[in-house]
Amino acid sequence: MAADVPVVALRDGNLIPQLGFGTWQIPTADCPRVIGEAIRIGYRSFDTAQAYGNEDGLGQAIRDSGLARGDVFITSKLRNSAHRRDTALRSFDETMRKLGIDQLDLFLIHWPVPAEDYRPRRPMGLPLGSASTQTRACGATWRGALRSVAPAASRVARAASRSSTSA
């Protein structure tokens, strides 16, 4: 990672850069150009989601950059309709295929609200099976879910909240 970007420690000890590049609304076809420019100016943390429809473009852009996989932090998010264990595992595998990587740095529930009276005790029951070795950390993006789920990434949400209120 770029040496001048501060990091925050997740509950499990993994480090996440405090500055990242979000890919929402970047079409897959534009990812090589846009992500390439972001890498050129120093970004090393990238955020995507299944709902954004550009995981494959982000993966290709990172491969095209020539950066070592360990020099890039990649976050993706589970789609809202895939909260159940079996669906979450299939969905995770699809994310990995699209990104074209062996390990994801952070996998989040995009909008962790109970669906069909299903309330996960931890994110999608992860770490599960192959996903436990394929992702370094799991978490939730919506702070309200943190009351019932204690993911590795909840500390990031709290740290970001403190930073934004003290600015």
156: pLDDT confidence band, cut at 50, 70 and 90? very low
Reply yes or no on whether the pLDDT at 102 is more than 60.
yes
Which residue in the list 21, 43, 46, 52 is annotated as catalytic?
52
Per the prediction, the chain carries an average pLDDT of 76
User: In terms of pTM, does the model score above 0.85?
Assistant: no
Extents of the domains making up the chain: 7-166
- DSSP category for residue 151: -
- Assess whether 52 carries a catalytic annotation: yes
% the chain with pLDDT above 90 = 40
The residue among 148 and 32 whose pLDDT is bigger is: 32
- Dist CA 48 CA 39 (whole Å): 15
- Tell me, what's the pLDDT at 162? 45
- Give domain 7-166's CATH superfamily: NADP-dependent oxidoreductase domain (3.20.20.100)
- Dist CA 18 CA 38 (whole Å): 15
